[in-house]
């Protein structure tokens, strides 16, 4: 079943990229950084792509508040629900997509105790979700997207938000 879901995801990404190439939209997205008590970060593993591990996130629906978009994406990708009052906006960056113009807002929160990710086993996009401590990022079976690593480092070290993803 994983193989079929992976093929469907690759086809969906290709279709999306063709659509974007024709329409040339300015993309507006959100990424979500969830930390647990030990500073482990919630990561999701996509079924395909150049960097399988990434922060949960996706597109913001027009007129949707960015924190609500982050909560929606967090639930869709990792099966996690965290109250809106725990979130704050970390910052905005440009250029998260290699080809298409985009702006991504990063929102962050501390997870309540015993938050366990449960991605849908039928998701064509997400194969896994888990909290991973930065000290063991190198032990993951695939790379983490570099922009996500920069945002995580900013949160953990208090560095200012970089203007580019």
Asked if 93 and 162 touch (Cβ cutoff 8 Å), the reply is: yes
Asked if 87 and 94 touch (Cβ cutoff 8 Å), the reply is: no
Which residue in this structure is represented by tokens 């099966």?
Answer: 79
Res 65: pLDDT: 97
> In this predicted model, which residue has the larger pLDDT, 81 or 16?
81
114-143 pLDDT, tens digit each: 788 988 888 878 999 999 999 999 999 888
> In this predicted model, which residue has the larger pLDDT, 97 or 27?
27
Res 99: pLDDT: 64
Burial of residue 135, with CB atoms counted within 10 A of its CB: 0-12 exposed, 13-18 middle, 19 or more buried: exposed
Q: What is the DSSP letter of 141?
A: S
Within 13 Å of residue 152, how many CA atoms lie on the same side as its CB?
Answer: 24
- Averaged pLDDT, 61-74: 96
Domains and CATH numbers, the chain: 2-157 (3.90.79.10)
CA nearest neighbour of 56 among 39, 35, 37: 35
Torsion-angle region of 32 (φ positive above 0: left; ψ -120 to 50: alpha; else: beta): beta
E strand residue ranges, 5-85: 27-35, 41-46, 53-54, 57-59
Res 47: pLDDT: 82
Task: Report helix, strand or coil for 109.
Answer: strand
Res 107: pLDDT: 97
CA distance between the termini of the chain? 34
Q: Are strands 102-110 and 27-35 parallel, antiparallel or unpaired?
A: parallel
What whole-number distance in Å separates Cα of residue 126 and Cα of residue 65? 24
């Amino acid at each position: 079943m994983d193989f079929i879901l992976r093929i469907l995801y690759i086809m969906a990404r290709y279709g999306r990229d063709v659509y974007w190439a024709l329409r040339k939209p300015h993309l507006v997205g959100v990424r979500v950084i969830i930390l647990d008590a030990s500073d482990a970060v919630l990561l999701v593993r996509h079924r395909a792509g150049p960097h399988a591990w990434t922060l949960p996130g996706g597109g913001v629906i027009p007129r949707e508040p960015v924190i609500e978009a982050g909560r929606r994406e967090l639930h869709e990708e990792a099966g996690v629900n965290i109250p809106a009052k725990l979130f704050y906006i970390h910052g905005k960056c440009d250029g998260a997509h290699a080809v298409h113009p985009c702006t991504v807002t990063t929102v962050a929160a501390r997870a309540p105790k015993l938050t366990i990710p449960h991605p849908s086993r039928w998701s064509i996009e997400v194969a896994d979700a888990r909290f991973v401590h930065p000290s063991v990022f190198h032990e993951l079976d695939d790379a983490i997207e570099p922009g996500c690593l920069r945002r995580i480092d900013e949160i953990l070290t208090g560095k200012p938000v970089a203007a580019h993803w």
